[in-house]
Structures are given as structure tokens and as C-alpha cells.
Amino acid sequence: MTLDKLEINKCATIKSLHCTGDLRRRLLDLGLVNGTNIKAILKSPIGNPIAYEVRGTVIALRKEDSKLIKILN
């Protein structure tokens, strides 16, 4: 399952990132590493971006970026 499909107020664990280059570096810098817990907390009215809580911080990711993150539910 990918992160963009995680329902609001549900938690999951990051399994892997399927991207390279600057985007991968950015996601890793935000704390999205294997084994990290993540929770979907808010979706914009049009569905993009989605806010997630990671390590006590709220971040917003575009749907196309969230599709590159595999999770365990």
C-alpha cells in the first residue's frame, strides 16, 4: 500500500521510498525513513496536499510524492 491511500486519522509504518535524487533526499531529511510511524491527519478540500504527522511534526506532501512511499498498515 502507498501513503496516499492511508485514511485520515489512521497510522502506518513506512516500509520504503521509491524515488531518487533530490526528492529522496528531501523525504529522508523530513524523517521519512524505514520503520518510522506516520499518521494522516488532514486532507485539503481538493485532496492535495495531505498533512501527515511524523516524529511529532506535521508535514504536507503532494499526492504524487505520497504515491512513492510504501507503507505497512
* Inter-residue contact 34 to 15 (CB < 8 Å): yes
Q: List pLDDT tens digits, range 14-61.
A: 999 999 999 999 999 999 999 999 999 999 888 789 999 999 999 999
Residue 26 is given by DSSP the state: H
Q: What's the pTM?
A: 0.89
pLDDT for res 57: 94
Angstrom distances, CA of residue 13 to CA of 4, 21, 22, 69 = 13, 23, 22, 10
pLDDT for res 63: 92
Pairing between β-strand 69-72 and β-strand 11-17 as defined by DSSP bridges? antiparallel
Q: Which domains does the chain have, with CATH numbers?
A: 3-72 (2.30.30.90)
